[in-house]
Amino acid sequence: MKTFGIISCLLMLILSQQVLYAQQLQVKEESAEDFVKLEIPLEEALTKITFIVTWLSGEGSDEVIFEGEGVIRTSDYIELRSDEDEHGRYSYHKILPKYAVEGNRYIFVPLVEGGGGSGAFWNLHVVDKKTLRTVDYIGLGDRTRIKEIILADASTNTVSIIYSPREVTGSKGLYPKKAITKHFRMIEGIAREVEDPLIPSDPNMMFIPAGDFYMGSKNKNKDAESDQKPRHIVYVDAFYIDKYEVTNAQYKEFIDANPQWQKDRIPKKYHDGDYLKHWDGNDYPPDKGNHSVVYVSWYTAMAYAQWQGKRLPTEAEWEKAARGALLSRKYAWGPSLEANKANYGESIGGTTAVGTYPANRYGLYDMTGNVWEWCLDEYNPDFYAISPSHNPIAGGTVDNILSDWTNVKSVRVLRGGSWVSDAKFVRVSDRTRFTPKITNKARGFRCVKPVTP
C-alpha cells in the first residue's frame, strides 16, 4: 500500500507538470511570431545582412555588409576591414557565425566593431529575416567575452546569452569570475530583457532588469531644480511595472469590488473633496474608459495597488523605468521633446487614451506627460545628497510604509509631468510633490511588483 501511495503521488506530480506545461504552451502560442523561412543557409545569410551600426556619439549610423574587398574569413569569424591609415591602424567589424541563432522571425548575431585604439565594442544585433536588416541591437560592452547564445524559444523569438563583460578596476580591465546570463525577447519589434526565458511576461506589466543607472540631473542642466541634484549612481533590484497608467475602467473594477473606496463612502481623511470629481457617481465618463484615472489621492492609489497585489513605485524605480535603458537623456525616449511623442503643454486639452503615444525602450507608455504619477516615497528636497546607492527610498523602508500607509501624513512624490505641464516638467528627472490626500485633473498612477517578494 505504501508503494502504491508513492506511485500515486508521482503520477499526480507528473500530471500537474504536464498541465502547467500545456498552459505555458498556450501562452506562448498567443504571443508567437509568424514563421519566416530563410531560403539560404544561415552562415551564407550573415554575409547578406545589412548591419545598422550606430556611432558611439549617437549622432548617426553606418550600414555594414560583409561583402566585397576587405572581407577576411577564418573558421571562427568573418571580418570586414577598412583601409589602413597613415599610422598603420584600421577599423573593423567582425561577426562570429558559431554564435548566430535563428528564431521564427529574427536572426540574433553578435557583431564586434573596433580598431584605432578605441576598444572592441560588442552588440547583439537582431535582424529581420524578411529584409535581412538590423531592426534592433543590445549593447554588450567593450571587450566582452561571449560564452554562449541559446535560442530559448523560437516561437516568441527569445534568446538567452551568457557572457562576461569587461569590469574596469582602476586602470586595469578585468573580467568577472562569474558570467552573466540574460534573456531577451522581441516584443513589439524591440529586444526587451525578460526574467523568464520560456514564459512570456504578463502582457500588462513589463520587466525592468536589475542594475544601476544615473539618477537625477547634471549640475549644468539649467532646467533642473536643486532637488534633482546631484546626479548620482543608483542600483535598483529587478521589478515589474505596469505597461500603462491605471485607467478609469480598471479603477471602477476596484471600487465595485471595494465599496468603501467609492465616492460616497470614502473617509474624508483619504481625499480633499474632489475625489473622482469627473465621474457621475461611481461611473466614469462614457468615452474615458481607456483614459488614465485622475482625481485620485495617494491613499486611493495605494489602496488600488494593494488590491492588485502590487504597490506604488519608489522614485528610483520610476526613474529607472522611465529612462528606458538610455543614459543621460532628458525624456523617456531620448534627448529632445517632440509633440507627437507625448501629451503635454495643454496641446490636447485633457488626458489621452493610454498607449496613444510611442513606448519607451522598456515598452512603457506615457512615462512622459499625460498624468503625473504618484510614487511611494516621502518628498525630501535634499535626499539626493544622502541617497543610499542600493534601492533608495525616502521616508522609511518599503515595508514600513506599506504596513502603515493609512496613517501617512507627510508630502509624497509625483513624477512624469502631465497634459498641462510645460516641457521642463516632463523631463524624466523632474520631481514634484503634494500632500497624500490631494487630488486633481492631472494626477494618476501606475503600479509595480517586485520580482522576488
Omega before residue 230 within 30° of 0, cis: yes
The model's confidence at residue 407, banded by pLDDT at 50, 70 and 90, is very high
Ranges of beta strands (E only) in 333-383 are 372-378
Contact 60, 53 (CB under 8 A): no
Residue 86 has pLDDT above 70, yes or no: no
pLDDT for the residue 29: 36
127-131, 139-143, 326-330, 441-445: least confident range = 326-330
Mean pLDDT of 398-427: 95
**HSE (CB half, 13 Å, CA atoms) of 217?**
21
CA 330 – CA 374 distance, rounded (Å):
20
Q: Flag whether pLDDT at 119 surpasses 50.
A: yes
CB 386 within 8 A of CB 354: no
Residue 7, pLDDT > 70, answer: no
Side by side, which strands form the sheet with 448-450?
205-208, 239-242, 448-450
**Mean pLDDT within 49-54:** 92
Predicted pLDDT at 55: 76
Residue 289 has pLDDT above 70, yes or no: yes
Q: What's the pLDDT score for residue 336?
A: 72
- Domain extents for the chain? 42-200, 226-450
* Residue whose C-alpha cell is 498624468: 371
The single residue listed with the C-alpha cell 514600513 is 400
| Confidence band, pLDDT 50/70/90 cuts, at residue 177 | low
Radius of gyration, alpha carbons of the chain:
25
pLDDT in tens, 178-203: 788 999 999 888 999 999 887 767 88
Confidence band (pLDDT; 50, 70, 90) for 9?
very low
Confidence of residue 30 (pLDDT cuts 50, 70, 90): very low
Percent of the chain topping pLDDT 70: 84
Helix or strand (DSSP H, E) at 321:
helix 315-323
Q: How high is the pLDDT of residue 118?
A: 62
Report the pLDDT averaged over residues 123-133: 95
Average pLDDT score, the chain? 86
252 or 328: which leads in pLDDT: 252
pLDDT > 80? residue 382? yes
pLDDT tens digit sequence for 243-260: 999 999 999 999 999 999
pLDDT at 87: 55
Name residue 107's beta-bridge partners.
102, 127
The string of DSSP letters for 239-305 reads EEEESSPPBHHHHHHHHHH-GGGSTTTS-GGG--S-TTTTSBTTB--TT-TTBBP-S--HHHHHHHH
Q: pTM of whole model > 0.85? A: no
Instruction: Provide the pLDDT confidence category of residue 19 given band limits of 50, 70 and 90.
Output: very low
| Cβ contact 280:417 at 8 Å | no
Question: What's the mean pLDDT in 331-338?
Answer: 72
What share of the chain has pLDDT > 90, as a percent?
58
Which pLDDT score is estimated for 120? 85
pLDDT tens profile 341-376 = 899 999 999 999 999 999 988 889 999 999 999 999
What is the mean predicted confidence (pLDDT) over 118-127? 88
Most confident listed range (9-13, 169-173, 226-230, 383-387): 383-387
Q: How many CB atoms lie within 10 A of CB 147?
A: 12
Which residues, at least 6 apart from 368, have a Cβ–Cβ distance to it below 8 Å?
322, 331, 332, 333, 337, 341, 342, 344, 360, 416, 417, 426, 428
67 to 50, 282, 356: CA distances (angstroms): 10, 66, 42
* CA–CA separation, 154 and 47 (whole Å): 22
Q: How far is CA 350 from the centre of its chain?
A: 26
Domain 226-450, CATH class in plain words: alpha beta
pLDDT higher at 93 or 57: 93
Q: How far is CA 123 from CA 111, 126, 168, in A?
A: 5, 10, 19
C-alpha 196/C-alpha 205 separation (Å) is 14
